[in-house]
Amino acid sequence: MNETRTDFLDLATRRHSVRAYSARPVDRAIIDRCLEAARLAPSACNSQPWTFIVIDDPVLREALASAAGGGMLPLNHFTRQAPVLVAVVAERANMSARVGSRVKDKPFAMMDVAIAAEHFCLQAADEGLGTCMLGWFDEPRVRSLLDIPSTARPALMLTLGYPDHHSGAAKRRRKPMEQISAWNRYPQTQSAKASAPVSGRRSVAGLILWLAVTYLAAVIGGAATARAGAFYADLTRPPWAPPGWLFGPVWSLLYTLMGIAAWQVWRTRGWRAARGPLCLYLAHLGVNAVWSWLFFAWRMGAVAFGWILLLMAMVFAMIRTFRRIRPATAWLLWPYLAWLIFAAALAFYVWQRNPGLL
């Protein structure tokens, strides 16, 4: 067998995102080879959950290019120049890939689609063509222009064409090798050290601090409700409304649980590695504290109702992100979310039935 060794590294080095194209048309045979490269891509459980739609019809291409533009934002305007666009559609994966994806909490179908799209782009680069993957586009518009059914999702768009050689050299900014790779163990970078679990006295101090920050939010919010007893009693309330005295104990428990949840996340990963979820938590405390003011002090029924929906969305996001760090921790937040749903229903009822007061 005559085995020739193509220089893949050279191809990977040459491929870059091209954002300026010449008007030169692209041969169908070349596009077919790019599609063949995509067809050969690996996928979880060999599910091949993709469809590549090639668009060379000028009218449709123009419509899609405008769907890929960023609207008011100066994004993806080069899409208009590309003689060919390709929509990469993620299909429903086969049963075993779907089960695996669920069990392992990994988006296999999206991973598969990305790999196939990259196969397409690498073959295009080998043919002397330029491509750019687009993740930012108006998905509903693309879906409707291409008649994509609800069972599938347009995951990526690709521009394809001959690069305009006057467009300047490609910028290839890449992280240094030691930052993206290691041998035999996770790299001992700053962030790896920072993500080590916190223990001992620091952990106890952390617990006190997280609870203190949380109770601070409770105190700020509580200041709005301190003199709201009479106001609450005067409101027309639903028969299922709890008595006023119950709110204090319930909120105290919820604040304690959420403070412990934040502490557990911090203790498991450290501040640096869990900065995103912990900042979300802190921002949520601010939203939580302001809610009581909106409802009880400033008596803005509509805004308060919208605010509690925002709070619910934030708590839901916290449950999702905390769960990834420490699955058991998420359980500490479910009672909070359940209470917020109840409180939102109560706030809605009270706002609707007390037009003069809220």
Ligand X SMILES: Cc1cc2nc3c(=O)[nH]c(=O)nc-3n(C[C@H](O)[C@H](O)[C@H](O)COP(=O)(O)O)c2cc1C
Residue ranges binding ligand X (CB under 6 A): 16-17, 76, 132-136, 170, 172
Q: At closest approach, how far in Å is the CB of 129 from ligand X?
A: 14
Q: Which residue sits closest to ligand X, CB atoms considered?
A: 135
Q: Which two tokens stand for residue 353?
A: 């039935």
351, 358 contact by CB (below 8 A): yes
User: Closest CB to ligand X among 86 and 294?
Assistant: 86
Q: Which two tokens stand for residue 90?
A: 């993620």
Q: At closest approach, how far in Å is the CB of 134 from ligand X?
A: 4
Q: Residue 54 is inside which H or E element, if any?
A: strand 50-55
How buried is 120 (Cβ within 10 angstroms: 0-12 exposed, 13-18 middle, 19+ buried)?
buried
How buried is 335 (Cβ within 10 angstroms: 0-12 exposed, 13-18 middle, 19+ buried)?
middle
What whole-number distance in Å separates Cα of residue 253 and Cα of residue 211?
12
Q: At closest approach, how far in Å is the CB of 132 from ligand X?
A: 5
Q: At closest approach, how far in Å is the CB of 86 from ligand X?
A: 13
Q: At closest approach, how far in Å is the CB of 106 from ligand X?
A: 16
What whole-number distance in Å separates Cα of residue 176 and Cα of residue 172?
12
DSSP state letters, 155-219: EEEEEEE-B-GGG-PPP-----HHHH--SSS----HHHHHTSPP-HHHHHHHHHHHHHHHHHHHH
Q: At closest approach, how far in Å is the CB of 136 from ligand X?
A: 4
User: Closest CB to ligand X among 172 and 175?
Assistant: 172
User: Closest CB to ligand X among 170 and 253?
Assistant: 170
Q: Would you give the end-to-end CA distance of the chain in angstroms?
A: 83
Q: At closest approach, how far in Å is the CB of 65 from ligand X?
A: 12
Query: How far out from the chain centre does Cα 266 lie?
Result: 21
Please list, in sequence order, all residues whose beta carbon lies within 8 angstroms of the beta carbon of residue 246, skipping any fewer than 6 positions away: none
User: Closest CB to ligand X among 79 and 214?
Assistant: 79
Please list, in sequence order, all residues whose beta carbon lies within 8 angstroms of the beta carbon of residue 126, skipping any fewer than 6 positions away: 11
User: Closest CB to ligand X among 85 and 290?
Assistant: 85
User: Closest CB to ligand X among 121 and 333?
Assistant: 121
User: Closest CB to ligand X among 85 and 314?
Assistant: 85
